[in-house]
Amino acid sequence: MIQETLFLKNTETFAESLARCGVKYHFAYPITPATDVMKRMAVILPRYGGQMMQMESELAVSSALAGAACTGKLVATSSSGPGLTLMHEAIGFMCAAYLPCIVVDSMRVGPGDGDILGAQSDYFVVTRGGAHGDYRTVVLAPSSGQEIADLVPHGIRLAYRYRIPVVFVIDGVSAQTTESTTLPAYNDYSAEFDTSGWAFTGTKDHAKRALITGSYSHQDGYEMNERLRAKYEVIRDKEQMWEQDGVEDAELVVAAFGIHGRMCRDLVSRMRADGKKVGFIRPITLWPFPDRAFEALGSCVQNILVVEMNLGQMVDDVRLAVNGRIPVHFLGKTGGDLPMYTLADMIAEADRLLGE
């Protein structure tokens, strides 16, 4: 496939980007607002020599994902909050077993089965971990169709470089938005990495090797956790990503990811046009959280406003990053006909904090 600009739902952009960047097997179970990813995968993956498999449940999906990942092939799944919740046992196992994969979470209103409307309420579950144990997954939060296409190659490289599940999160409103997006030409990014030291490919060309496992005892468990700790330190050090604008002389910094982060560009340009000193930080990696963006804020910053489509999740990480140095405020909601605050609402709250 050649590079081309298409008009796609962002769920479809995920499918196109994953297939064009080397995903061979996609396992999924239908759930709004993520079903369009698997639907398009079913149509296009055979063109790339791959296949989409609809399993009988999300438990089966995640087990198939872990099993296929053991072969070193690039594998992916797509789901939404309630489905992702069911997958966590396998995701925790994959972290212990050093297995790469790509997970797409199209977030909707929770808790419980919740609502099919979009939300950003899975921030905790993807950054803190929905399974037991000390583990982390890389979490990427694109804010537009183009950013999905641009980030997928990077996400695949992270998954293989660190042998770790990489989770893409997008709110359901953005997932269902249709945009013009320039998609890349086909390139299997996982092929850049040598998997011969660990992948199960049969014993034709090598001796039988130890089972990839998430089970261990005593000293083994200690050593494995220390290896994980060291790996997570490297990721924290090297892989923080964010977008920022106008923070150098800002009195107020607005922090938001995904759709609200994208809206911050308009917020800052409008408020700056009125002479108001406002900047924004849009985390692109939710884990590792871009602490550095907040640590670097100067003494001119008097307040930080965090905006989310939830009741306050990323705001905790912002508070940890500024460590009491700057007051942190929160604006967020979940559910409703429009399950988010509008740009006008965001500007009104920003004005209030500026004392206007």
Partner 1 sequence: MLHKCTISGSGGQGSALMAKMICLGAIKEGLKVVMTQTYGIEQRGGDSTAYVIVSDQPIGSPIVENDADIAVALSSSTYANCFEGVVPGGSLFTNSSMVEAPRDARGFRQVLLPVSDMAVELGTVRCANMVMLGAVLAGTGLLRLEVAEEVVRESLGAKKPQLVELNVNALRAGFAAMEKEGN
By CB under 8 A, name the one of 192, 220, 223, 266 that touches partner 1. 266
CB nearer to partner 1: give 51 or 178: 178
Does residue 144 bind partner 1 (CB under 8 A)? yes
Question: Minimum distance between the CB of residue 342 and partner 1, rounded to whole angstroms?
Answer: 5
The single residue among 63, 71, 146, 195 that binds partner 1, judged by CB under 8 A, is: 146
Are the beta carbons of 75 and 25 closer than 8 angstroms?
A: yes
The answer to whether residue 262 forms part of the interface with partner 1 (CB under 8 A) is yes
Q: Which of residues 3-22 bind partner 1 (CB under 8 A)?
A: 5, 7
Contact yes or no for 10/259 (Cβ under 8 A): no
Is the CB of 239 or the CB of 345 nearer to partner 1?
Answer: 345
Is 116 a residue that touches partner 1 (CB under 8 A)? Answer: yes
Q: Which stretch binds partner 1 (CB under 8 A): 68-76, 84-92, 219-227, 261-269?
A: 261-269
CB atoms within 10 A of CB 123: 26
Q: Is the dihedral of CA 64, 67, 71, 77 positive or negative?
A: positive
307 binds partner 1 (CB under 8 A): no
CB of 206 to partner 1, least distance (A): 49
Measured at the CA of 43, the angle between CA 37 and CA 44, to 5 degrees, comes to 85
Identify the residue among 89, 150, 179, 188 touching partner 1 (CB under 8 A): 179
- The only residue of 17, 79, 177, 285 in contact with partner 1, by rule CB under 8 A: 177
The reply to whether 297 sits near partner 1 by the rule CB under 8 A is: no
User: Which among 120-128, 160-168, 258-266, 301-309 is the span making contact with partner 1, rule CB under 8 A?
Assistant: 258-266
Nearer to partner 1, 116 or 320 (CB): 116
Tokens of 310: 């939830």
Q: C-alpha 29: how far from its chain's center? A: 19
- The stretch near partner 1 (CB under 8 A) out of 13-21, 133-141, 202-210, 259-267 is 259-267
Q: Which stretch binds partner 1 (CB under 8 A): 177-185, 189-197, 234-242, 300-308?
A: 177-185
How many C-beta atoms lie closer than 10 Å to residue 160's C-beta? 21
The binder of partner 1 chosen from 187, 196, 323, 342 (CB under 8 A) = 342
> In this chain, which stretch among 130-138, 262-270, 310-318, 319-327 interacts with partner 1, using CB under 8 A?
262-270
Least distance (Å) from partner 1 to the CB of residue 354?
A: 20
Shortest approach of partner 1 to residue 13 CB, angstroms?
A: 12
Interface characters, 30-69, with partner 1 (x: CB under 8 A) = ---x------------------------------------
Binds partner 1 (CB under 8 A): choice among 45, 117, 138, 271:
117
Binding site for partner 1 (CB under 8 A): 5, 7, 33, 116-117, 144, 146, 173-174, 176-180, 259, 262-266, 269, 342-344
